[in-house]
Amino acid sequence: MRTPIRVRELTDEEAATVKRLAHSRTDPARTVERAKIVWLSSQGLLVPAIAEQLRLAAKTVRLWLKRFNADGLAGLKDGARSGCPATYPPEAVGEVVATALTNPQTLGLPFASWTLDRLEAHLNETKGIEIKRSRIDEILLDEGLRWRKQETWFGERVDPEFAEKRGSSPGSTKSRRPKA
């Protein structure tokens, strides 16, 4: 028969942190669940009772108790996962966002607003960041920036001299006389 596994004696700081995490409504759900496992164990509950109360497998409860006993509060966090490393380093992502938020005319470019194609060309040629327009769009959306698809005649013109360049409207429309 297995020896019941229990959480080790918690320090005052660990106890306060685990209690706060176990009752949190804003921290990630996985972290809260793991903190609840440790908290309930520190309150004297055994693995089967914790598993039943939290609707988890006993094996899962044992795993997190062992990790906490070995690593402390750091044992509640997710470990490193395998997989492909990020394609673009954080510096490149930051450069994409910073460039997109910069007025192109301040960079000496002959246009007043960015399009994905213009941004892609500028980043590829000037900054040396080989990136596709679809990835630029994803990065900007991940940062909470909404990309304007196109300029339309409904909105405000980007060119402040547009009215002067356009000239007066043609007189093709006759005015109507009001009915008496």
More confident residue, 60 or 27: 60
Expressed in angstroms, the distance from the first to the final Cα of the chain is 104
DSSP label of 99: H
| Architecture of the domain spanning 12-76 | Orthogonal Bundle (1.10)
The sign of the torsion formed by the CA atoms of 130, 110, 151, 158 equals positive
Among 34-43, 54-63, 153-162, name the one with the lowest average pLDDT: 153-162
CA 29 to centroid of chain Cα atoms? 17
The pLDDT of residue 175 is above 80: no
Among 3-12, 75-84, 164-173, name the one with the lowest average pLDDT: 164-173
Largest interatomic CA distance in the chain: 104
Per-residue pLDDT tens over the stretch 50-105: 999 999 999 999 999 999 999 999 988 887 778 887 788 888 989 999 898 888 88
Query: Domain residues of the chain, as ranges?
Result: 12-76, 90-146
Among 31-35, 88-92, 117-121, name the one with the lowest average pLDDT: 88-92
**Looking at residue 158, what is its pLDDT?**
61
